[in-house]
């Protein structure tokens, strides 16, 4: 008889640390009103965990196992497609069709690709997501005046700094000019005096040698003529 090998036991999957966030995600999703939708990233941000859109998806996928799918309106959370568009991101065709049917029953308009306009049906915190409006002419004028005043202030500050530096440099130059020269012989003057003394001594020695040579030559020539 060949002994049968027992299959190794599978280790239980480790529960991620983000499971503690799921209750916060569910609270935010419960606040989404009927006929409104929100994105995974927006739910994570409102729960205090930005950049955790995938964790919101994991929390919603676990609703079937926990039995709380009836208490949490999971169908109102969609995936973001563009700045003002969202869409059904469930890959299971049955789950996607169920989400579409639930949203249409609440009055949410969905296009052929499963997209929803966030301008009409988006929700964030206490109201729908509103596109940022363009600045009016008065706001643009106010920003321009603020920028011009800032530039003028910076120019005046730089001018005052330059004036202060110029005055400080001028005062320093005046102090150096009015200050008395230092006492004591300098090295240059001492060297010049030494060179002058040496040249005068050499000149005296040269004159003496010339006179001596003339005296010696005079009597010798007279004797030869005799």
Residue 77 pairs with which residues in a beta bridge?
38
63 CA to centre of own chain: 42
| pLDDT band of 8, cuts 50, 70, 90 | low
pLDDT digits (tens, 9 = 90+) for 47-99: 999 999 999 999 999 987 766 777 899 999 999 998 789 999 998 999 999 99
pLDDT at position 2, please? 56
End-to-end CA distance of the chain: 164
pLDDT > 60? residue 11 = no
The CB-side HSE value for 12 (13 A sphere, CA atoms) comes to 3
pLDDT tens sequence across 135-180: 556 666 666 666 777 777 777 777 777 776 777 677 676 655 665 5
Q: CB count, 10 Å around CB of 63?
A: 17
Domains in the chain with CATH codes: 17-121 (1.10.10.10)
| pLDDT tens by residue, 194-216 | 888 888 888 878 787 766 666 65
- DSSP state at residue 23: H
Is the sign of the CA dihedral 62, 65, 69, 72 positive or negative?
A: negative
Residue pLDDT, tens place only, 85-112: 999 999 899 999 999 999 999 999 999 9
| pTM to 2 decimal places | 0.49
């Amino acid at each position: 008889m060949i002994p049968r090998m027992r299959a190794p036991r599978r280790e239980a999957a480790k529960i991620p640390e983000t499971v503690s966030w799921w209750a916060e995600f569910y609270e935010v999703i419960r606040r989404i009103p009927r006929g409104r939708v929100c994105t995974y990233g927006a739910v994570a941000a409102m729960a205090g965990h930005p950049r955790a859109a995938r964790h919101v998806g994991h929390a919603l996928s676990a609703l079937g196992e926990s039995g709380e799918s009836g208490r949490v309106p999971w169908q109102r959370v969609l995936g973001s497609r563009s700045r003002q568009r969202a869409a059904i991101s469930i890959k299971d065709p049955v789950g996607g069709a169920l989400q579409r049917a639930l949203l249409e029953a609440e009055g949410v308009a969905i296009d052929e690709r499963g997209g929803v306009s966030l301008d009409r049906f988006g929700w964030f915190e206490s109201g729908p997501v509103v596109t940022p409006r363009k600045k009016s002419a008065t706001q643009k004028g106010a920003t321009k005046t603020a920028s011009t005043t800032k530039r003028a202030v910076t120019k005046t500050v730089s001018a005052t700094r330059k004036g202060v530096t110029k005055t400080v440099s001028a005062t320093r130059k005046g102090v150096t000019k009015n200050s008395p020269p230092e006492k004591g012989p300098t090295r240059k003057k001492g060297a010049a005096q030494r060179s002058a003394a040496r040249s005068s001594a050499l000149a005296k020695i040269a004159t003496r040698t010339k006179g001596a040579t003339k005296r010696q030559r005079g009597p010798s020539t007279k004797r030869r003529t005799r």
